[in-house]
Each structure stands twice: as C-alpha cells, then as structure tokens.
Amino acid sequence: METVSENRAFGGTQGVYRHTSTSTNCEMTFGLFLPEEAKDGPVPLLWYLSGLTCTHENAMTKAGAQAWCAEQGIAIVFPDTSPRGEGVANDDAYDLGQGAGFYVNATEEPWAPHFQMWDYIAEELPTLLGEKFNLDMDRQAITGHSMGGHGALTLAMNLPGRFKSVSAFAPISNPTASDWGRKQLSAYLGDDEAAWAKHDASLLMAEVGFDGPVLVDTGTNDQFIDLLKPEALANAVATKRQHATLRLQKGYDHSYFFVSTFMEDHVSFHAEALYGE
C-alpha cells in the first residue's frame, strides 16, 4: 500500500492511499480520516460511499464529515466508486463504466474483469483497513450519497451483523424500476432480473429489512427525485415495519451543499449506534 498524502486535520489525519486490488484487478485509491483517538487505540469506522462521477476525493473535500467525525472519535473512509485506468472498460455516458460501479460484481463483458466493486467494498478493503490502521472493525457503520446511498443500503441489508447503523443521502432507492438502475444492472449483471434483486434497497427492505437504525434524507427540490424513488423505499419501510427515519428536506437539491448541511446529523446518528453498546 502506497501513501499518496497525509494531512493534519481536526486534530487527526486525513490520508489518501493507493493499493493494487485483487478484486478489481487494478490500482484503487481511497481516503481515510483518522481522529486523534486512533493514536491511543482502535476507533469505530464509518463508510461513506460516493455517487455517480465521483472519486474518493469528492466527499473527502466537500461533505464536511471530518470535523464531525473528529468530534465523535470516529474514522471515516472514502472509497472510489469504480475501477479505473488503462485497460479498464468504460462508456461515453457518465452513468456507466468508470465512476459508475454501482457497487455490484459484474458478470457481463466487458465489465466483469474489473467491475467487482461489491467484493472490493464488502471484503477486500475492510480486510486491508483492519490490517493497516488502528480501527475497531467490530464497530462499523455505513452511509452514502445517491449511487452510494444505494450501495450503503444494499450492503447493510445483505451483510447482517456487519454494520451497526445505515444512513443515506438521496439514495437511488428502487433501481430495478428506475432508469438509474435498469440500464446499469442489465449492463453489469445481464437481463435476468432475479439477479438484480439483491441490489435494490426497496425490494430488500420489504423482504429482509435491517437489524438496526436507518436514516435517509432526500431534498424535495432534488433534480433527480423521480429517478431516486424515495416513495418506494418509504412503502417498503411501512411494509416491513422497519425502525427508520425517512426525511424529505424542504428546498434542498442533490448537491454536496445538501450533503454537508445534514452531515452532522448523520455522523451523530451513527455515533449513537457505534457507542451504544
């Protein structure tokens, strides 16, 4: 693992690291903020999964999470959204290919050789983080924005016991019924829609739910709200009678201004779950 940079921030360290991934068969880069408490012992870990077109850097510099994580003594990791580099398949559209991994393991060509983002986030990167940094991997939580909100919710529900809590900012909530989802799931996973179900937060919520607290914020002025389908997730929560807080934030859009506005709420929400036992 290569250290790209390390900067003092809010009493802790904001690092950027690069490593060769066996899951994606290319170099991957991630950001990790460690609070000051990590010098003295393992600290809880919050995952932040980013959305379409983003790298590890967008949320790291725009979401305003480090100050609130430092206050709570929590580390936060910012993975990339897809494999990258020469030889990695791509598409001219912004919502497919590099920058648009959708947190799935692709089975279709030309994506399958590199687009194994589920394994990267669920298995490889957690192992690496636990080995290299002073983290308490028994206390993890997960959040994300847009495509990353989709990833956070689906990972949390598919990996019972892994995360103490899950939250999302404007998640793609029902991709099997949305143009932001059907296009990508068919490209990466093929035309058998049965294979898509584990990557749809609304279907998962109605079927299995999440054994822990859930928080979701979406702006009422989100320019993509018809693609996000928050109403599908709300209906699934009601069907499952899931303990969850779903909020429509008046006047907010899809931008990082929205994310940064409610980041304190989300970090505090996760801190309560991470330190609650």
Beta-carbon contacts of 100 under 8 Å, excluding residues fewer than 6 positions away, are 52, 53, 81, 82, 91, 94, 147, 184
Task: Evaluate the omega torsion of the peptide bond into residue 110 and state whether it is cis, within 30 degrees of 0.
Answer: yes
Residue among 236, 226, 240, 47 at smallest CA distance from 137: 47
91 is catalytic: no
Asked if residue 130 lies in contact with residue 34, where contact means CB atoms within 8 angstroms, the answer is no
Backbone torsion region of residue 30, taken as left when φ is above 0, otherwise alpha when ψ lies between -120 and 50, otherwise beta: beta
Catalytic-role residue among 56, 167, 222, 266: 222
Helices 256-274, 65-72: crossing angle, 10 deg rounding: 10
260 is catalytic: no
Catalytic-role residue among 146, 167, 173, 178: 146
- Round to whole Å and give the CA distance between 180 and 102: 10
CA dihedral 112, 122, 53, 220 (to 10 degrees): 130
254 is catalytic: yes
Asked if residue 75 lies in contact with residue 275, where contact means CB atoms within 8 angstroms, the answer is no
Catalytic-role residue among 145, 254, 266, 270: 254
How far apart, in Å, are the Cα atoms of 276 and each of 72, 217, 244, 269?
13, 22, 17, 11
Q: Given the structure tokens 């060509």, which residue do they identify?
A: 109
CA 147 to chain centroid, in Å, comes to 8
- Round to whole Å and give the CA distance between 98 and 105: 14
- Catalytically active residues are 146, 222, 254
